[in-house]
Amino acid sequence: MAMMTDTAPAHGRGNHFLLHLLVALVLLVLGGGYVLYEIAQFGKVQFNTTNYGIFWGFAIVVYDYFLLTSTGLAMVASLYHVFGLEEFKSVARRCLWLAFAGIIGGVAVLFLELGNPLVAIWATPLNMQTASPLFWKVLLVGAYTVMLALVLLGMINTREDKRNPLMIAVGALALLVTLVAGSVYGMMAMRPVWFGGTVPVVFLIESFMGALAFTVFFSHLEERLQP
Amino acid sequence: MTDEEVQAKLLKTPSGKFEFRSGQMEENADWIAGMTGRDKAKLMFPIWEDPIQKGGGDLHLVSPKVALHAEGRGSNIPMVIAQLQPTVGGRGEAYLEINPVTARERGIDDGDRVRITSDVGEIEATCRHYEGIRPDTVVLPMEYGHWRAGRWSESVPTGHSGECTVNQSDRVTGQCNYYTSKVSVTKA
Amino acid sequence: MPKWGMVIDLETCTGCQACTTACAMENNRLPGENWQDVLFYSDGEYPNMNLSWLPRPCMHCENPSCVSVCPTKATYKDEGTGVVLVDWNKCIGCKYCMVACPYGVRFYMDEAPVVEPDVKDTYPGDGKRTWNPPFKMPDEYEDASKGIGIQPKGVVSKCTFCYHKISQAPEGVADLDEDNPETKEFTPACVRVCAPKARYFGDLDNPDSKVNELIAEKGGVRLKEETGNKPQVYYLSGGGSPVVPGKRSTRS
């Protein structure tokens, strides 16, 4: 576990970092450009939701997947930063950057899907609808993103991975965001498929699964990209 | 009233009363039998004659009006066609209603495009399985399929039922009789 | 303060859709975006087939789940009339209220059109209006803070119980009856056009109102009581006969 990256085969390495970065950027421009073109040309109809039962479509799935993966990654990083498990030290920094990428990507997708995302920014905190799980989710995701950004800012100019006490807040917020994201579905008594106290727990498990998959995948990728 | 006044107000039948046995028909029986070939002994009574079902298929096509059909132009009014045939979910489109047993015999699934054929024409429509239809009958509301009805009507991929119904009149009374025909339905 | 409510007599309703079309014209709805709809259900096999139908406006619940889930309080319960409204200035289009509504009576503007070609392209809107229908209500009726009129992009809309009419009703009146010349103009469109008079509209807080009498005399029921939403729309189904479509029925 300690040297997770050792499993990557040693042969066939070369410095393709720039090439890979370029390919990734081209894919981003192509994919993102296609999405933006479709939305500009045809509107949100392209999300293929309906007024007759399918209110939330694939965009919300993608958003929640990346949000949960992000919080899961932050929790994996907290295993080292908060609980001091040295096994996770080598991936802690990577996890935090991936967590930030995940939350930005997820929220970007959500903003594409929302009808009036800019109104959401001011109207949600100002109206204090405390009965709505979505109100708490917005507040917590905001706090989580800010705290995560602070931690990452502090890490930019240092190669040392010292345990960061701010990570207590990040980890706790990540846990809360995950459970509240589950409650958004689990509290819907009128939707029997979603309803239940187990849904937040399922979301928690899902977030760890996503986080571990991301960690393994990107560690292998990073290992192959090294010269 | 005098007898003359009573006579003047009687029904204009030979007996002056309501007749099940038509005196007028009886008086002209020879002429009618000669013209139509009907049985001279029976034609003064109300008689049953087998209907002649034209069209050549095995299913009856019925082409009713729907509740929201006020006039032909309705097929181009978006507000009307958005809830035209609600019993089978016809929102924005008219469906051929077909009994599920009949449909399965022909390999037609719910929502398939079907071809409706009779001796006089052929149209296409989307079908819906519907338990409220007799197995020997299919129903296609007459609404769409006009060739110049307007943009909303023309974008509906349903043919006009009139293309398949044989133009015939009732052979006793001469009344309009072209709302049904025998058709065959196959998967398009 | 009235608490407006509706009674729908399912024994009298013929499923003619006059309410649906009247609502669409009164409130400038997109074709097929039926705030007031009639749902048809079929049950059984030929020849033992049962066709039933259920007119369904917004229930304007006493304890509306859409209001409690709205993260911005854009959906709210109006104090003066007891109806549930949407403030289009605050709605963010997250559609959580549509998920939370047990009755499916909330609608998002930016969906695929029911009728092609899209009327939004045929009659393009100006300013905040998403489209400009030829049969629009008078401008002075429009009120974005109550969800009345032509909505802007990216918001959720819903039945307002014809708020622009009922809010003008004389104070203390028990029923808004279309047959009474005094209250005719203040009656919601769907009630006013109902040809077999299957709909009644009145004050649920007024003990003398016709709606309260009908609910008591004929046993009015509310839909989906198990959700605790407590609708203000009551159905009369003829003394317990299963006129309200059962769970086995298929919706068409």
pLDDT in tens, chain C (252 residues): 899 999 999 888 998 899 999 999 999 999 988 999 999 888 888 889 888 888 999 999 999 999 999 999 999 999 889 999 999 999 999 999 999 999 999 999 888 888 888 898 999 988 888 999 888 888 889 999 999 999 898 999 999 999 999 999 999 899 999 999 999 999 999 999 999 999 999 999 999 999 999 999 888 889 888 888 999 999 998 755 445 565 566 776
Predicted pLDDT of residue C241: 47
| Least confident segment among A1-10, A47-56, A73-82, C183-192 | A1-10
Residue C223 contacts A where some CB pair is shorter than 8 Å: no
| pTM greater than 0.90 | no
**Is there a contact between B185 and B106 (Cβ–Cβ < 8 Å)?**
yes
Compute the mean pLDDT over every residue in chain A, rounded to the nearest whole number. Answer: 88
Region B91-115 average pLDDT = 92
- Find, in chain C, the residue whose alpha carbon is nearest to that of B82: C32
Instruction: Say how far apart CA B26 and CA C118 lie, in whole Å.
Output: 64
The residue that leads in pLDDT, B93 or B185, is: B185
Instruction: Say how far apart CA B108 and CA A201 lie, in whole Å.
Output: 45
Residue C121 contacts B where some CB pair is shorter than 8 Å: no
**Is there a contact between A77 and A167 (Cβ–Cβ < 8 Å)?**
yes
Could you tell me the two tokens for B51? 């209907």
Contacts of C32 in chain B (CB under 8 A): 82-83, 91-92
Compute the mean pLDDT over every residue in chain B, rounded to the nearest whole number. Answer: 89
Percentage of residues of chain A with pLDDT beyond 90:
69
Predicted pLDDT of residue A52: 84
Region B64-78 average pLDDT = 86
Option in A116, A190, A191 nearest C92 (CB): A116
Q: How confident is the model at residue A153 (pLDDT cuts 50, 70, 90)?
A: very high
**Interface list for chain A against chain C, based on CB atoms closer than 8 Å:** 43-45, 48-53, 55-56, 114-117, 119-120, 123-124, 127-129, 131-135, 137-138, 184, 188-191
Q: How confident is the model at residue A63 (pLDDT cuts 50, 70, 90)?
A: very high
Instruction: Say how far apart CA C103 and CA C224 lie, in whole Å.
Output: 8
Predicted pLDDT of residue C80: 87
Residue C73 contacts A where some CB pair is shorter than 8 Å: yes
B137-139 and C156-158: which strand pairing? unpaired
Q: Is the pLDDT of residue B144 over 80?
A: yes
Q: Is A183 left (phi over 0), alpha (psi -120 to 50) or beta?
A: alpha
Q: What is the 3-state secondary structure of chain C?
A: CCCEEEEEECCCCCCCCHHHHHHHHHCCCCCCCCCCEEEEEEEEECCEEEEEEEEECCCCCCCCHHHHHCCCCCEEECCCCCCEEECCCCCCCCCHHHHHCCCCCEEECCCCCCCCCCHHHHCECCCCCCECCCCCCCHHHCEHHHCECCCCCCCEEECCCCHHHHCCCCCCCCECCCCCCCCHHHCCHHHHHCCCCCEEEEECCCCCCHHHHHHHHHCCECCCHHHCCCCCEEEECCCCCCCCCCCCCEEC
Q: Are the Cβ atoms of B131 and C44 closer than 8 angstroms?
A: yes
Sign of the torsion formed by the C-alpha atoms of B12, B13, B19 and B25: negative
Nearest Cα of chain C lies from the Cα of A121 at a distance, in angstroms, of: 9
Instruction: Say how far apart CA A163 and CA A86 lie, in whole Å.
Output: 10
Instruction: Say how far apart CA A62 and CA A43 lie, in whole Å.
Output: 19
Q: How confident is the model at residue A41 (pLDDT cuts 50, 70, 90)?
A: confident
Region A157-179 average pLDDT = 90
Model confidence pLDDT, tens digit, residues A133-149: 999 999 999 999 999 99
Q: Are the Cβ atoms of B130 and C42 closer than 8 angstroms?
A: yes
**Is there a contact between A83 and A76 (Cβ–Cβ < 8 Å)?**
no
B113-117 and B122-129: which strand pairing? antiparallel
Q: Are the Cβ atoms of A55 and C99 closer than 8 angstroms?
A: yes
Model confidence pLDDT, tens digit, residues B149-160: 889 988 888 999
**How far is C-alpha A7 from the geometric centre of its chain's CA atoms?**
26
Q: Is the pLDDT of residue B123 over 60?
A: yes
C-alpha neighbours within 13 Å on the C-beta side of residue C64: 28
Option in A49, A188, A191 nearest C111 (CB): A49
CA distances from B1 to A208, B9, B10, B11, C108 (A): 106, 11, 13, 16, 77
Could you tell me the two tokens for C86? 């949407």
**Is there a contact between C109 and C120 (Cβ–Cβ < 8 Å)?**
no
Percentage of residues of chain B with pLDDT beyond 90:
38
Region B21-50 average pLDDT = 87
Q: Is the pLDDT of residue A4 over 80?
A: no
- Find, in chain B, the residue whose alpha carbon is nearest to that of C135: B79
Q: Are the Cβ atoms of A129 and C224 closer than 8 angstroms?
A: no
Predicted pLDDT of residue A7: 47
Region B43-66 average pLDDT = 88
The predicted complex's ipTM stands at 0.86
**Is there a contact between C63 and C229 (Cβ–Cβ < 8 Å)?**
yes
Predicted pLDDT of residue A225: 66
Angle formed by the axes of helices A166-186 and A58-81, to 10°? 150
Contacts of B51 (CB under 8 A, 6+ apart): none
Q: Are the Cβ atoms of C95 and A133 closer than 8 angstroms?
A: no
Region A23-51 average pLDDT = 90
What's the one-letter identity of residue C31? P
Q: Are the Cβ atoms of A138 and C71 closer than 8 angstroms?
A: yes
The residue that leads in pLDDT, B35 or C212, is: C212
Q: Are the Cβ atoms of C99 and A56 closer than 8 angstroms?
A: yes
Q: Are the Cβ atoms of C40 and B86 closer than 8 angstroms?
A: yes
Predicted pLDDT of residue A10: 45
The residue that leads in pLDDT, A20 or B176, is: B176
What is the phi/psi pair of residue A179, to 5°?
Answer: -70, -40
Predicted pLDDT of residue A226: 67
Q: Are the Cβ atoms of C20 and B67 closer than 8 angstroms?
A: no
Task: Characterize B76-90 residue by residue with b for buried, 16 or more Cβ atoms within 10 angstroms of its Cβ, and e for exposed.
Answer: bbbbbbbbbbbbbeb
Could you tell me the two tokens for B129? 């399985």
Nearest Cα of chain B lies from the Cα of C170 at a distance, in angstroms, of: 33
Option in B68, B82, B87 nearest C32 (CB): B82
Angle formed by the axes of helices A58-81 and A198-225, to 10°? 70
Predicted pLDDT of residue C243: 53
Compute the mean pLDDT over every residue in chain C, rounded to the nearest whole number. Answer: 90
